Amino acid sequence: MNTFKIKTLRTTKTHIDYERYQRTPRFPACYICSAKPIKTYTRWKLIENEFPYDEVATKNDMIVPLRHGTEDELTKEDLREFEEIKKDINDKYDMILENTHKQKSIPGHFHLHLLQIKEREVRA
């Protein structure tokens, strides 16, 4: 068995499943565009991350614009509504996480990760 290092917030199993999924050609090409919403806003939707950051989180959803596009393509109206959505989701998640460009696996469709962080027992 070969060992190698990876940077991921996923468990090894989820990471391997994710890499396999990425190598599989599919239609439609953009997972975010085709993902069923948990909740729909005027310009955004809340979707589940099919390959969650399960090493660190018990829940990993994503907030994404309905329209396919990069961060640079967001309009003032998009950003205004996002500020409202942040208030709506503030008590439902612990963290909003944005990957830098080199870690983005879907750079063509802007998305932010919403995380409920795993609890762990601490002895002090």
- Which residues here bind Zn ion, judged by CB under 5 A? 30, 32-33, 68, 109
* Closer residue to Zn ion, CB minimum distance, 32 or 115: 32
Smallest gap from Cβ 28 to Zn ion, in A, equals: 8
According to DSSP, residue 22 is labeled: H
Backbone angles phi, psi at 81, to 5 degrees: -65, -35
Smallest gap from Cβ 109 to Zn ion, in A, equals: 3
Q: Label residue 18 left, alpha or beta by phi (over 0 means left) and psi (-120 to 50 means alpha).
A: alpha
Smallest gap from Cβ 71 to Zn ion, in A, equals: 13
* Closer residue to Zn ion, CB minimum distance, 32 or 85: 32
Smallest gap from Cβ 106 to Zn ion, in A, equals: 7
CB 113 within 8 A of CB 96: yes
* Closer residue to Zn ion, CB minimum distance, 6 or 28: 28
Q: Taking CB positions, which residue lies at the least distance from Zn ion?
A: 30
Sign of CA dihedral 41, 43, 48, 54: negative
* Closer residue to Zn ion, CB minimum distance, 31 or 93: 31
CB 81 within 8 A of CB 41: yes
